[in-house]
Amino acid sequence: MRPFVDLDWVLAQGQGVVLADVRWYTDGRSGRRAYDEGHLPGAVFVDLDRWLSGEGSPRAGRHPLPAPEVFAEGMGALGIGDDDRVVAYDDGGGVIAARLVWMLRVTGHEAALLDGGLLAWDGELERAPAQRPPAVFTPRPWPPERLADIDDATDPANVVLDARDRERYRGDVEPLDPRAGHIPGARSVPARENVDEKGRLAPVDALRRVFEAAGVRDGASVVASCGSGVTACHDLLALEQAGLGSGRLYPGSWSQYSHARDRPVATGDEP
């Protein structure tokens, strides 16, 4: 599967895909409540904090990757099995749901983001939770070649992309972490700018121009960072969609880096 699929493709598959609603909000709103108020027919709700993250800490960041066994438990309980194809969505251009898609893809499963997300659907939404029988989902280790750490994020040999909104990158505001700014050398490629006002992914040519302007070339060693390793996954999926490789995720991201007081911080528009 390509990293992004449209609604027509999903509808053509019938029961051949599992829809996953991965809504989550930094302002404290409940993704589960949003799901209960209306979701795509047949979609299961995937809890970011419970199944897609480990226990957060200043040392590990807010959303470290969970143990593979925890991820497997969550997927199996939701009725997602080893051989299922998953299409995930949210209501914010896919920048949250990208975490699930990335986690599935790097562990060898077929998964994609629904281009346009919830806004792509113009039919009636369901309110009753989807019920799927439990499935077998085998734990698989996170592949080390797809991960980066704090040293990789500061290595000038890597092209480091910062997927946060530009005002956080510049250090104008910092609503969540102890220091404002960005990792020195990191380039601003906001995940929310990968899509238009309807949540549709930009054309491949436009994506390539953005990534190339940030220093990404064929064969480049790319590390994606954000606030806590969630929206960076959208940059990685967009990178792959643009045909520029897969890159590596820095799970700790700014929520880890900003707590490391011995590490320098950059502000402003320049890397």
What is the SS3 assignment for 204?
A: helix
Q: Enumerate helices (H) and strands (E) in the chain, giving the number of each.
A: 9, 9
Does residue 241 contact residue 201 with C-beta atoms inside 8 Å?
Answer: yes
Give yes or no: 233 in active site.
Answer: no
What residue has token string 């599967």?
A: 1
Exposure on the CB side of residue 29, measured as CA atoms within 13 A? 11
Task: List own/partner pairs for 176-179 with CB under 8 A and 24 or more apart.
Answer: 176/26, 176/62, 176/227, 176/255, 177/227, 177/254, 177/255, 177/258, 177/259, 178/258, 178/259, 179/258, 179/265
DSSP state of 97: T
Q: For residues 203 and 208, what is the distance between their CA atoms, to the nearest angstrom?
A: 9
Task: State the catalytic residue, choosing from 10, 44, 161, 226.
Answer: 226
DSSP state of 201: B
**Which are the catalytic amino acids?**
226
